Amino acid sequence: MRATRRGTLRSPVAYLFVLPALLIFLLFSIGPTVYTFALSFFKWNKLNPALSTYIGLQNYETVFTGQGDPSFWSTVGISLYFVVGMVVVGTAAGLVIALLLQRGSRLLSAVRTMVFLPHVTPLVATSLVWVWIFNPQFGLANLVVHATGHANIDWLGDSDWAMPAVLVYSLWHELGFVSIVFLGGLTTVSGELSEAAKLDGANAWQEFWYVTFPQLRPVLALVLLVESVTSLQAFTQFFVMTGGGPGYATATLGFQLYQQAFVFSNTGYAAALAVVLFLVTAALSILQLRLQGGGFPSFRSLLLRPRQLRKARTT
């Protein structure tokens, strides 16, 4: 494998093939990342870089001593609230929906499409729709609340309800994706093993927990990783639905990054926040992959798995 890789890299033609992708990657990913790292050492004047001053690690000091407004640590806490909500509830609900929809029928296919549909809708447009759903005076959400005999809730204007409201919207938008990934994973699960478990007297829960779920581990790792990273970087719904408020109740790290860079023009400080977010995301990804036994499933591994299982069965 190593020899093949080295041999491929020695070929000038191979370099030509990868060059366009490499250039795009350098220009739009690596370049801006390095630039952001560099900006974080400056009090940067984005309107006139000539007026920028090098301040060393001062922006990082502001970040870690919590001197920013709002403090970095409060934005981390709010981000974690959102990430945990999305990852735990999103993953569990996505798996349940996938299990319910895994059997093939026309009706279930239609339901799968309906579940997936929100994921392909634009975040800005649907966030605006949900702002109206959560409207305290005219919203559908309060119609339901009112019908159950409770007082109206100021969903997006109350600090206690704003984040749950954004979570409900975000879960509505993301569940389709999680369910489809799990459904894909369930198609690779061995039916024979489940049958064998049933013959051995396993009930439905035992069959799921001891046979199906372990086989979904690589898919679970993928879902956890993708959901963690996208939740950490979530921005649009906070921008449209709450503007980080009320107060700073939904001011996540990602949202603050935007605020500081583009609203308050604290570009250097925002760059330091971006670097920290980058490192947190990278660390979280590595940690999750390690905890999952390094099993980041590639499409190749998902395709190979049924073949390996068939091979195991024939031997």
Which residues would be at the binding site for another protein (CB under 8 A)? 34-35, 37-39, 41-42, 45-54, 69-70, 131, 135-138, 154, 156-159, 239, 242-249, 251, 259, 262-265
DSSP alpha helix (H) spans, the chain: 2-10, 12-25, 31-39, 58-64, 72-84, 90-101, 106-116, 123-133, 140-147, 159-187, 191-199, 204-207, 213-215, 217-232, 236-237, 253-258, 267-291, 299-314
Could you give the CA distance from residue 72 to residue 66 in angstroms, rounded to a whole number?
5
Min separation Cβ 309 and another protein, Å: 37
- Output phi, psi for 117, to 5 deg: -50, -45
- Residue nearer to another protein on the CB measure, 39 or 86: 39
- Residue nearer to another protein on the CB measure, 94 or 268: 268
Min separation Cβ 16 and another protein, Å: 22
Min separation Cβ 66 and another protein, Å: 13
Q: What DSSP string runs through 254-267?
A: HHHHHIIIIIS--H
Contact indicator for 221, 289 with CB cutoff of 8 Å: yes
Min separation Cβ 297 and another protein, Å: 25
Contacts 24+ apart (CB under 8 A), 136-143: 141/165
Min separation Cβ 225 and another protein, Å: 22
Could you give the CA distance from residue 46 to residue 110 in angstroms, rounded to a whole number?
50
SS (H, E, C) 141-159: HHHHHHHCCCCCCCCCCCH
CB atoms within 10 A of CB 109: 11
Min separation Cβ 10 and another protein, Å: 19
Q: What is the chain's length?
A: 315
- Output phi, psi for 54, to 5 deg: -80, 125
- Residue nearer to another protein on the CB measure, 15 or 132: 132
- Residue nearer to another protein on the CB measure, 45 or 292: 45
What amino acid is encoded at 123 in this protein? L
Min separation Cβ 195 and another protein, Å: 49
Min separation Cβ 9 and another protein, Å: 15
- Residue nearer to another protein on the CB measure, 45 or 102: 45
- Residue nearer to another protein on the CB measure, 145 or 158: 158
- Residue nearer to another protein on the CB measure, 188 or 242: 242
- Residue nearer to another protein on the CB measure, 212 or 237: 237
SS (H, E, C) 4-29: HHHHHHHCHHHHHHHHHHHHHHHHHH
Look up residue 98 and give its two tokens: 């996938």
